[in-house]
Amino acid sequence: MLEKCRNAQERWGGVSDIIDNWLDGRQKLISFFVSLPQQNVQDALNDKIQEFCQLMMDYISSGHFEVYEQLLKQGSEFNDGSLEKAQALFPNIQNSTDAALDFNDLYSNFEGITLQQMYELTCQLSSLGETLEERFALEDKMIEILHIAHRERVFAEPQV
């Protein structure tokens, strides 16, 4: 997951400040996610999970309320079917949003830990990791459809 994020940053870095900031947020989210299983239960795991939940909610909000909006606006400027292709991705992206919100609801105020809660957290983190990886792939596909594909057309058009 971390390597795929680096690849996305290399491919689309510098294209747009909003996308750059969003991909930086993705990098932080993934790095934090990867570090969670190594956290010592006695060393403020609650704080780490709450911080992870905040990073995840910031990333998802930025996607829904900034990045997707900008990408859809760019895609609407071309009548080539790209907008419809990108919009077809949204139901699956929404499924991952729902999973992230559910995780946040369960763990953003996570206090104390029992063995049962630790087991449930481990299972939830594993499932969430798979869901986020799918989401990132869908988001990358949306960037490809709505931004990168049109970049060549915009720069190739003669300036009047």
CATH number of the domain enclosing 150: 1.20.120.1370
CB 15 within 8 A of CB 149: no
Q: Where are the beta strands (DSSP E) in the chain?
A: none
- Structure token pair of residue 145: 């459809």
Amino acid found at 145: I
User: What residues contact residue 51 under an 8 Å CB cut-off, 6+ apart?
Assistant: 32
Split into its structural domains, the chain has a count of 1
Buried b (16+ CB within 10 A) or exposed e, 45-63: bbebbbebbebbbebbebb
- In angstroms, the CA 119 to CA 115 distance is 6
Could you count the other beta carbons within 10 Å of the beta carbon of residue 88? 11
- Structure token pair of residue 57: 């909610």
**Mean pLDDT per segment of 10 residues, for the chain of length 160 residues?**
59 69 90 81 76 95 90 80 88 96 90 78 94 95 78 52
Q: Which domain holds residue 142?
A: 2-156
